Amino acid sequence: MNNKILLVEDNKALSKLISKKITENIDFEVDIAHTLKEAQTFIGSKNSYFIALLDLNLPDAPNGEVVDYMISKKVPSIVLTANVDQKTRDEILKKDVIDYVFKGNMDDVNYIFHLIERLSKNRDYKVLVVDDSIVMRNEMKRLLNLQMYKVFSAAHGEEALVYMKDNPDIKLVLTDYNMPVIDGFELTKTLREEYSKMQLSIIGITANSDQMVSSKFLKIGANDFINKPFTKEELVCRVNNAIESMEYIETISDMANTDFLTGARNRRSFFKEVEAYMDYARANNEEFAVAMIDIDHFKKINDAYGHDMGDIAIKELVRLITESIKGADIVARFGGEEFCVLLKNIDKSSAIELFVRLRIRVAQNIINIKSNKIQYTVSIGITFNCDEDIEEMINQADMALYNAKNSGRNRVEIADAE
């Protein structure tokens, strides 16, 4: 992705401050120009920019000429201004700019960083606009494209459902109420049968002044509602708020389901997902394997190097396990230095081979931290799909792990078949 920004600001102290904070906080490169002429030089050098931050009043462009220039060069732009009167605001928003930021105090400057970070994340989100008015459809698509979203558009609910089938990773739907074929209500109800609010955000839109329309939209599953006509700022704020709410929910969900130190699943999340998978696997005669993995002599690492180094050793083991398994497989921290791994859709010989390679890789891995070199081994116990529940399978893998420990460690042992 393009992570380079052009900052055009004649206040050298402010431009230096903004540039420093951008590079320190959001990992973007910044080119600084103090005049329109310098900005033109950067653009003429075939530089490609994610966005441009543009002072509205420059020594050689006192009337916002730099904004028109950047728009003509198709550079997404955010306007920086010391004046936010109604006339200035209206003139700015008539142009194809992302947003404007008042240069009043540090809070306003900090908003720039939040906005850049939001735009950067938006590049990964797909949005679907559904409206039977081609004018309204195209206008919403234009505004959301400026916000860096990947935007699809549909003329009615039936067409929208086709887009959703082809693009199940769409995260937000903006739907009009009055449409032919399938209206906004029916579309919302249909989508909610398949997608939860954690998976998909829906914003209802209508020109109908009846308040019952908005309440009905919300009752049948919409996250928010917008009345026509709406301003550019209202649309953008509501869309960004909807996406951010989903991100917060996802973050909370991740925190509830993952181990804080390693990012692996926690025990509760592991059991929940594995039980559902085992029902599927047994119904479809799919082979799988469960393994318990434990770091050998882990107490010696903590005693010799301290608990911080012990945490690093644990995180390094998770990295090696994750790189060795498939994306659909599951690794969970069960406590301390002990982990449980489920390998999906794999035969016995392939599972054994994978864990043997993992054991060797861990033994050969050296962690270099400052002047310390940490090296350790693991013991692994494996069991394969049987008629027992997951807890019994884990007990069997645990017994195999116990045998590996008693047989000298740095070993892979297989649970005895009943």
Helices 307-324 and 298-305: angle between axes, nearest 10 degrees? 140
Q: Which of residues 76, 92, 120 is at a domain's end?
A: 120
Q: What is the pTM of this model?
A: 0.74
How many CB atoms are closer than 10 A to CB 381?
26
* Averaged pLDDT, groups of 10, the chain, 418 residues long: 88 91 86 96 88 94 93 94 79 88 78 91 97 95 96 97 96 95 95 94 85 89 92 94 94 88 93 91 92 96 92 96 94 95 95 97 92 93 87 95 96 82
Tokens matching residue 305: 């190097």
Gap between the Cα atoms of 6 and 42, Å rounded: 8
Q: Is residue 38 domain-shared with residue 74, that is, in the same domain?
A: yes
Position 249, amino acid: I
How many angstroms separate the CA atoms of 34 and 6, rounded? 11
Do both 276 and 409 map to the same domain?
yes
Query: Is 146 found in the same domain as 103?
Result: no
Q: Which of 18, 201, 184 is nearest to 113 (CA)?
A: 18
User: Does 9 fall in a domain?
Assistant: yes
333 & 238 share domain:
no
Q: Are residues 276 and 400 in the same domain?
A: yes
Does 262 map to a domain? no
Neighbouring residues of 41: CB distance < 8 A, sequence distance ≥ 6: 33
- On whether both 150 and 58 belong to a single domain, the answer is no
| DSSP 3-state of 95 | coil
Residues 242 and 378 in one domain: no
The upper half-sphere exposure of residue 165, i.e. CA atoms within 13 Å in the direction of its Cβ, equals 7
Please enumerate in sequence order all residues whose Cβ is within 8 A of that of 341, keeping only pairs 6 or more positions apart, or say none.
290, 291, 292, 293, 321, 325, 329, 330, 331, 332
At a CB cut-off of 8 Å and minimum separation 6, what does 60 contact? Answer: 35, 36, 37
Structure tokens at 185: 């209500």
Radius of gyration of the chain (CA): 28
Residues 17/43, Cβ–Cβ less than 8 Å: no
Angle, helices 134-146/232-257, rounded to nearest 10 degrees: 60
Quick one: pLDDT at residue 210?
Answer: 67
Q: What is the number of structural domains in the chain?
A: 3
- Structural domain for 388, as ranges: 267-414
pLDDT score recorded for residue 417: 54
Judge whether 261 lies within some domain.
Answer: no
From 124, 122, 100, 96, select the one nearest 112 (Cα to Cα).
100
Q: Is residue 139 part of a domain?
A: yes
Residue 75 is part of a domain; what is its CATH number?
A: 3.40.50.2300
Q: How many whole angstroms separate alpha carbon 151 and alpha carbon 214?
A: 24
Taking phi over 0 as left and psi of -120 to 50 as alpha, with beta for the rest, 370 belongs to left
Residue 229 preceded by cis peptide, ω within 30? yes
Look-up of token digits 């209802």: 204
Q: Which of 186, 221, 256 is the last residue of a domain?
A: 256
Domain boundary among 221, 256, 291: 256
- 157 and 110 inside one domain: no
Give Cα separations from 300 to 86, 133, 172, 297 (angstroms): 68, 70, 51, 6
pLDDT of residue 3: 86
Say whether both 305 and 409 belong to one domain.
yes
- Please count the other Cβ atoms lying within 10 Å of the Cβ belonging to residue 281: 17
